[in-house]
Chains A and B, each alone.
Chain A
Amino acid sequence: MSEFIMTSSNPTSIDVATGKQPGQQARPYAGRMMNHIAGVDRKDWLFRKTLWIGGLVILCLVLGILLTLVVGSIPSLRATGIRFLWGKTWNPVNEVFGALPFLTGTLLTSFLALFISIPFSLSIAIFLGEYFPPARKRNRFSHLVREAVELIAGIPSVIYGFWGLFVLVPAVRQLEMQWHILPYGVGIFTASLVLAIMIIPYASSLGREIISLVPQDLKEAAYSLGATRWEVIRHVVFPYARSGIFAGLLLSLGRALGETMAVTMVIGNTSELPTSIFSPGNTLASVIANEFTEAANRVYLSALIELGLVLFVVTTCIHLIGKTIVQRFSA
């Protein structure tokens, strides 16, 4: 009855070697494929396990880093205890180790650098996020600006230090001579200047992203009420992007705290509590860089490692807080 009765003959057997059925085309693989199929499940399992191991290595790496820092600090912890954190004297010869000069140095340089960089990174963020977004084709100049800012982030720290040593330090020395301060040239202030330049890209690129995410209709609502460009930025964009900008600043701060080479080369390497922003000093990172290879005995080395632990904890916390704020913002 049905016009669709199959025309081929009785199909009860399949030739496994060729996968051929009478009346059907031969499959040019059936025999060859059988060899591959047997191992597939195992290969899949092996592959998945390899991926999993890769991820596990990362976990173990970070745990290992933390553990190493803690274990390495133990001799110093036993010798000095918690007073280490506010000890004012760092005297390896007499085996007196106190972290306060470096904590002060780190915090001073980083916060000073942050304050100096804020007007610049904010300006770039608003320039690229609001006034001249590089998304539109005709904005060649803003493309250039964005590329230039990324280039700032790409220059290695040691080159910044090199340049700072030969250009900024003499300049600051001149300034200090004019203001009748001891003309070291190097010092906290010079280090903050170099740091400020280096950390601009971090706050500015995050700020730019957040600012460009401000919904167009919110801004249009303000414009339609007669607001000027600046008023829209101040009363609509900023409040909306506030937490994102703050997170960007935190990320910048995190970078500044951990920066080593540029700071080491222009800060003066003095392990004493700085008396003014023009005095030479040291940061947690710079003292480690300078003295690690000279640390002759166990407790000295361990004290340096403990400084590294403090640095690690502080930078990680700030970095993670900044990232959490960003995630909550984009969610």
Chain B
Amino acid sequence: MLVHSFKHIRHRQIRSTLIRVVIVCFTLLTLLPLLYILAYIIRRGIGAINWSFFVELPKPVGERGGGIANALTGSVLIVALATLMAVPVGLSSALYLSEHSRGKLAGFIRLCIEVLTGIPSIVVGIVAYYWLVRPMNSFSAFSGSVALAIMMLPIMIRSAEETLKRFPVHLREASLALGVPYYKTILKVLLPCSLSGVLSGIMLSIARVIGETAPLLFTAFGNPYLSFNIFHPMHSLPLLIYNYAISPYDSWHQLAWGAAWVLLMWILLLNVLTRIMIRKWSVRY
């Protein structure tokens, strides 16, 4: 009788170990495509990187060389403008939500933020087109920035709200008891203590939108020339990658790989900076 049950136990143990091995294998397998993609982009992209890559404009079909200067500056401008638009709205909503954790309006706002989190990027593009491109009768960097700002808001607000909520009540009371009015307490005590969380939310949302293509397809649209006019079409890195990737020209593919590499490095840099900032600037209560 005892022998029988020991064998049964061994089977169960073997099965448990086997499944653990399977799970570890699957986990490692998941990392393979990631490593492959990164290695592939680095290998293909590094070849394209040189000084002229950054400062020249794309050359017409057939000519070798060229660069991504217009896409690079375009990306910077569009994202900078989007950040400028999103931060005031995002910060004040996050402050409102952290100050009114209960309340019907706050509940509705939270629901809206959930909706914004899940909205497909192409739909945001459609809306920005309808609001700005149609009335202005032209594609523009401005409309692209509006679309990106809409996508930045939920990430920014969620991260900021979480940090602001952690601010302890007794610190707020200490400030109020010193005769500091409410708005100064928020601006000079709450915000400085929450700075790392708020800034990291902003940086994470930037990292998210610099790679977005769909919202820009029919808003910023793209521009073969270097342009700083936000009311005209403007190019951006993801748009360049998309257009060149689906083109049949090898030289353009090469440029696109280089651009993809630059984009990835940017995103990586932002994420690393965010980590460092959180570690160094976090205020512990």
Residues of A within 8 A of B (CB): 40, 43-44, 46-48, 50-55, 57-59, 61-62, 64-65, 68-69, 72, 119-120, 123-124, 126-127, 131, 145, 148-149, 151-152, 154-163, 165-167, 197, 200, 226, 228-231, 254, 257-261, 265, 285, 288-289, 292-293, 304-305, 308, 311-312, 315-316, 318-320, 323
Contacts and interface: CB of A to CB of B under 8 A. Distances in A.
List of 4 A-B pairs having minimum Cβ-Cβ separation, nearest first? A156-B211, A54-B92, A258-B120, A319-B118
A230 B93 contact: no
A152 B27 CA distance: 13
Nearest to B34: A152
Contacts of B245: 158, 161-162, 165-166, 265
A289 B264 CA distance: 23
Interface in B56-84: none
A154 B267 contact: yes
B17 to A, nearest CB: 8
Contacts of B29: 120
A57 B41 contact: no
B191 to A, nearest CB: 12
Contacts of B182: 44, 47-48
Interface stretch (B18-26, B46-54, B224-232): B18-26
A135 to B, nearest CB: 17
B106 to A, nearest CB: 7
Contact of A55 (B13, B24, B109, B130): B109
Contacts, number: 236
Contacts of A260: 120-122, 213-214
Interface in B79-123: 88-93, 95-97, 99, 105-106, 108-109, 111-123
Given A155-B37, A158-B211, A162-B241, A231 B130 contact: no
B29 to A, nearest CB: 7
A120 B19 CA distance: 13
B30 interface: yes
Which bracket fits the contact residues of B?
35 or more
B213 A157 contact: yes
30 contacts: A40-B181, A50-B92, A51-B92, A51-B96, A54-B92, A54-B95, A55-B96, A55-B106, A58-B153, A59-B112, A61-B112, A62-B116, A72-B126, A126-B23, A131-B23, A145-B31, A154-B208, A155-B211, A155-B264, A166-B253, A167-B36, A200-B30, A230-B16, A259-B120, A265-B245, A285-B120, A288-B126, A292-B129, A305-B130, A311-B120
A319 B122 CA distance: 16
Given A51-B92, A312-B119, A127 B23 contact: yes
Contact of B41 (A65, A163, A165, A305): A163
A44 B181 contact: yes
B256 interface: yes
B207 interface: yes
A259 B36 CA distance: 21
Given A161-B242, A229-B16, A58 B112 contact: yes
Interface string B143-187: 000000010010001000000000000000000000001110010
Contact of B122 (A46, A163, A165, A289): A289
Given A124-B30, A228-B16, A258-B123, 4 more contacts: A50-B92, A57-B89, A226-B9, A305-B126
Interface of B: 9, 12-13, 15-16, 19-20, 22-24, 26-27, 29-31, 33-34, 36-37, 40-41, 88-93, 95-97, 99, 105-106, 108-109, 111-127, 129-131, 150, 153, 157, 181-183, 186, 207-208, 210-214, 217-218, 221, 238, 241-242, 245-246, 253, 256-257, 260, 263-264, 267, 271
A166 B246 CA distance: 10
Contacts of A155: 34, 37, 211, 264, 267
A230 B114 contact: no
Contacts of B218: 292-293
A323 B210 CA distance: 26
B14 to A, nearest CB: 9
B113 A58 contact: yes
A65 B119 contact: yes
A58 B109 contact: yes
Identify the interface centre among A48, A162, A230: most chain B CB within 10 Å of its CB: A162
A88 B9 CA distance: 58
Contacts of A323: 114
A159 B41 contact: yes
Contacts of B114: 319-320, 323
A120 B181 contact: no
Contacts of B263: 156, 159
Contacts of A254: 118
A53 B29 CA distance: 48
